[in-house]
């Protein structure tokens, strides 16, 4: 039986080296050969027991109040019991990045006790989103100015030295000198001083860990990330139900190399803070980095449902759920999610349009450009206006269109899409700029293969060493090198087609399986368990005569195939 999205042109031998053309989904004109079996990875264990409601509020009490478990913290302040109860709930929401709920709780604390300086501190903190590289300076200043027009007046509103230290730190975020990066560094330094002054203050330690991550401006500096992890680990040792410690540990470890260190936090956080939709999603940062697709699916299905229950749909969780389904070969279920989000786009729901673009592109690539699922996904892309989209989403949509053009032999269409990608990314910086350039380079390489020039065979098959093939391979190898220099990211990939995977597929078409095997192994270092890369590895190893690697890869594919 041929899996969904696969056009079988040959059978895969049961083991050992196979003669002849590699097993294939062969695309017209360009003749790329791609495999299409299903990925297999072991399931993650469920989260261990933790959480529940905690009483005993008061000025020095631990916290939990509201719709369900949010974790447990100790954050004594000078407030009375009622204001403190609202304040603690706000901090719990804050640690799980549920900023609107946190802001509402801090407002309740201010209403219960006008002039409560730490409640104003909390409100200001909700306008700074370090991991997402977002800050609303005007809103943060407006919150703090409730305490006074000058720094001196604002600090004087706090009755204790420790509370004044918290206010002084947040002042750096909104009134400090320099650009955002400079203010983030100043805030992190202030939190370091606060933590050193009060080493037993677990909130100071937790917010210091988050501040450290924020200094990276969305890039991944391993030294800084491990420093943040070390701080959060100390909090976890004292309080394994601390939502901030668990959350920030996951962010510190959420890439393939360090993800095993994050499994403990991932398995606890969702249960400790199950009232927070974002907390339900966060374990999948570790699961996805390890290629644990059933666990990634479960986390994001729970998060998506919880976000609907709270009336604020998380398309971020939906996109991760969609990607997990694609990795399990559950293409029809993934397509249903495209229909769902397309309906929300039609209703102009905030955030839906960009996620539809990324999801449809991923669907088209995962299912093969000639499949019914890909055709429907590309139709969905046609309905998405690119104006106002984040660059990553717009580039993914353009790449999917150019990719299909190239594989259909339309070199001009591929080059047009590549040019559009470069135009879209103009003015972008950092990872988004680099990923866009790589996507454009990929299309240029495929266009060269689709139209190698006068007097050349336009088909790749059999042209294992022709000048067009060698030039395209050189471009793809350079793009793969460039991709490895990008700051590590977590989630559905950008570029939407990993370059090493594409390189492996092209090499298989050129009947160079040993080189293809190395390319697929390289791809899996960045994206463990990715279905097309594992499938490609299985095919390449089979035809390279590496029976052990082929059997291992096919075992993973089989184990992840829905029964």
Return phi, psi of residue 302, to 5°: -65, -45
pLDDT band, very low/low/confident/very high, at 211 (cuts 50, 70, 90): very high
Helix (H, G, I), strand (E, B) or coil at 25: strand
pLDDT single digits (tens) 328-382: 999 999 999 999 998 888 888 878 989 999 999 999 999 876 666 777 777 777 7
Q: Which has more confidence, 242 or 66?
A: 242
Helix (H, G, I), strand (E, B) or coil at 254: coil
pLDDT of residue 376: 77
**Is residue 42's pLDDT more than 80?**
no
When the candidates are 3.40.50, 1.25.40, 3.40.30, 1.20.1540, the CATH number that belongs to 52-207 is: 1.25.40
pLDDT of residue 388: 74
Q: Is the peptide bond before 495 cis (omega within 30 degrees of 0)?
A: yes
pLDDT of residue 11: 28
| Rounded average pLDDT over 483-489 | 90
Lowest mean pLDDT among 24-33, 96-105, 251-260: 24-33
Give bridge partners of residue 62 from the DSSP assignment. 74
C-alpha to C-alpha distances, 305 to 71, 271, 309, nearest whole angstrom: 20, 15, 6
pLDDT of residue 460: 44
Collect all residues with Cβ–Cβ distance below 8 Å to 177 and sequence separation of at least 6.
Answer: 183, 186
**Is residue 300's pLDDT more than 60?**
yes
Q: Which has more confidence, 134 or 558?
A: 134
What the block records as the tokens of 504 is: 């492996």
Q: How far apart are CA 535 and CA 327, in angstroms?
A: 11
pLDDT single digits (tens) 397-420: 999 999 999 988 999 999 999 999
Q: How far apart are CA 293 and CA 60, in angstroms?
A: 42
Return phi, psi of residue 500, to 5°: -60, -35
| Rounded average pLDDT over 273-287 | 97
Element (H, E) at 380: helix 372-382
Collect all residues with Cβ–Cβ distance below 8 Å to 309 and sequence separation of at least 6.
Answer: none
Is residue 269 within 8 Å of residue 92, measured between CB atoms?
A: no
Q: How far apart are CA 461 and CA 420, in angstroms?
A: 29
pLDDT of residue 465: 64
pLDDT band, very low/low/confident/very high, at 40 (cuts 50, 70, 90): very low
**Is residue 220's pLDDT more than 50?**
yes
Element (H, E) at 34: strand 33-34
Q: Where are the alpha helices (DSSP H) in 459-498?
A: 467-485
What the block records as the tokens of 214 is: 């924020």
Q: Within 10 Å of residue 119's Cβ, how many Cβ atoms?
A: 28
Is residue 352 within 8 Å of residue 345, measured between CB atoms?
A: yes
pLDDT band, very low/low/confident/very high, at 453 (cuts 50, 70, 90): low
Helix (H, G, I), strand (E, B) or coil at 129: strand
DSSP E strand stretches across 111-183: 128-129, 134-135
CA 418 to chain CA centroid, nearest Å: 24
pLDDT of residue 469: 92
Q: How far apart are CA 93 and CA 99, in angstroms?
A: 7
Mean pLDDT taken over the chain: 86
What the block records as the tokens of 186 is: 């100043």
What the block records as the tokens of 43 is: 């399931």
Percent of the chain's residues with pLDDT above 90: 73
Q: Measured between alpha carbons, how far apart are the two ends of the chain, in Å?
A: 14
**Is residue 96's pLDDT more than 70?**
yes
Q: Within 10 Å of residue 310's Cβ, how many Cβ atoms?
A: 16
| Rounded average pLDDT over 445-463 | 64
pLDDT of residue 463: 55
What the block records as the tokens of 160 is: 């204790």
pLDDT of residue 452: 61
Angle, vertex CA 493, rays to CA 215 and CA 280, nearest 5:
70
**Is residue 21's pLDDT more than 90?**
no
Q: How far apart are CA 239 and CA 81, in angstroms?
A: 22
pLDDT of residue 43: 31
pLDDT of residue 59: 38
What's the per-residue H, E or C state across 294-332?
Answer: HHHHHHHHHHHHHHHHCCCCCHHHHHHHHHHHHHCCCHH
> Which CATH class name applies to 25-39+328-559?
mainly alpha
Q: Which has more confidence, 431 or 145?
A: 145
Is residue 203 within 8 Å of residue 157, measured between CB atoms?
A: no
pLDDT of residue 464: 57
Helix (H, G, I), strand (E, B) or coil at 31: coil
Indicate the domain borders of the chain: 25-39+328-559, 52-207
Q: How far apart are CA 487 and CA 478, in angstroms?
A: 17
What the block records as the tokens of 461 is: 């098959």
pLDDT single digits (tens) 122-177: 999 999 999 999 999 999 999 999 999 999 999 999 999 999 999 999 999 999 99
pLDDT band, very low/low/confident/very high, at 454 (cuts 50, 70, 90): low
Residue environment code for 432-456, b if the CB has 16+ CB neighbours within 10 A, otherwise e: bebbbbbbbbbbbbbbbbbbbeeee
25-39+328-559 matches 52-207 in fold: yes
Is residue 483 within 8 Å of residue 386, measured between CB atoms?
A: no
Q: What DSSP assignment string belongs to 52-103?
A: ------STT-B---SSS-----B---SS-HHHHHHHHHHHHHHHTT-HHHHH
Q: How far apart are CA 18 and CA 11, in angstroms?
A: 10
Q: Within 10 Å of residue 428's Cβ, how many Cβ atoms?
A: 17
What sign has the CA pseudo-torsion 251, 253, 259, 264?
negative
Residue whose entry in the numeric block shows the structure tokens 């050969």: 33
pLDDT of residue 370: 61
**Is residue 67's pLDDT more than 80?**
no
Residue whose entry in the numeric block shows the structure tokens 């990925």: 39
Q: Within 10 Å of residue 14's Cβ, how many Cβ atoms?
A: 11
pLDDT band, very low/low/confident/very high, at 451 (cuts 50, 70, 90): confident
């Amino acid at each position: 039986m041929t899996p969904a999205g696969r056009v079988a042109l040959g059978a895969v031998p049961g083991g050992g080296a196979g003669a002849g053309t590699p097993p294939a989904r062969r695309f017209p004109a360009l003749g790329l050969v791609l495999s299409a079996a299903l990925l297999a990875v072991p399931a993650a264990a469920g989260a261990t027991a933790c959480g529940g409601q905690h009483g005993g509020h008061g000025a020095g009490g631990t916290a939990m109040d509201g719709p369900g478990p949010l974790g447990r913290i100790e954050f004594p302040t000078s407030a009375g019991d009622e204001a403190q109860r609202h304040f603690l709930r706000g901090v719990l929401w804050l640690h799980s990045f549920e900023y609107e709920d946190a802001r509402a709780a801090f407002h309740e604390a201010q209403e219960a006790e006008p002039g409560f300086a730490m409640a104003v501190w909390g409100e200001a903190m909700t306008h700074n989103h370090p991991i997402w590289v977002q800050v609303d300076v005007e809103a943060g200043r407006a919150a703090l100015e409730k305490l006074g027009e000058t720094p001196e007046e604002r600090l004087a509103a706090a009755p204790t030295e420790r509370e004044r230290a918290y206010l002084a730190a947040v002042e750096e975020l909104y009134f400090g000198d320099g650009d955002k990066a400079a203010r983030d560094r100043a805030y992190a330094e202030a939190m370091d001083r606060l933590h050193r002054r009060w080493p037993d203050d677990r909130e100071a330690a937790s917010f210091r860990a988050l501040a450290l991550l924020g200094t990276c401006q969305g890039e991944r500096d391993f030294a800084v990330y491990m420093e943040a992890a070390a701080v959060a680990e100390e909090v976890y040792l004292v309080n394994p139900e601390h939502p901030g410690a668990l959350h920030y540990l996951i962010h510190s470890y959420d890439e393939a190399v360090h993800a095993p260190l994050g499994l403990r936090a991932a398995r606890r956080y969702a249960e400790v803070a199950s009232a927070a939709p974002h907390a339900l999603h966060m374990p999948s940062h570790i699961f996805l980095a390890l290629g644990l697709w059933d666990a990634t699916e479960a986390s994001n299905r729970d998060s998506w449902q919880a976000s609907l229950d709270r009336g604020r749909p998380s398309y971020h969780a939906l996109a991760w759920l969609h990607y997990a389904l694609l990795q399990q070969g559950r293409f029809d279920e993934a397509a249903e999610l495209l229909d769902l989000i397309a309906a929300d786009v039609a209703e102009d729901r905030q955030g839906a349009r960009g996620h539809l673009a990324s999801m449809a592109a991923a669907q088209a690539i995962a299912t093969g450009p000639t499949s019914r699922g890909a055709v429907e996904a590309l139709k969905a892309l046609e309905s998405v206006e690119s104006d106002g989209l984040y660059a990553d989403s717009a580039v993914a949509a353009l790449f999917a269109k150019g990719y299909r053009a190239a594989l259909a032999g339309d070199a001009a269409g591929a080059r047009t899409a590549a040019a559009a990608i470069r135009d879209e990314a103009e003015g972008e910086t950092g990872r988004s700029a680099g990923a866009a350039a790589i996507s454009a380079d990929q299309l240029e390489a495929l266009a060269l293969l689709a139209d190698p020039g006068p007097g050349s065979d336009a088909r790749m098959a059999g042209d294992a060493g022709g000048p067009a093939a060698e030039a395209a391979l050189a471009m793809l190898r350079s793009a793969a090198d460039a991709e490895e220099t990008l700051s590590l990211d977590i989630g559905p990939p950008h570029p939407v087609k990993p370059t090493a995977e594409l390189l492996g597929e092209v090499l298989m078409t050129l009947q160079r399986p040993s080189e293809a095997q190395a390319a697929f192994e390289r791809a899996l270092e960045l994206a463990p368990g990715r279905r097309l890369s594992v499938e490609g590895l299985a095919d390449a190893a089979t035809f390279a005569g590496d029976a052990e690697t082929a059997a291992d890869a096919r075992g993973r594919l089989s184990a992840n195939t829905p029964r």
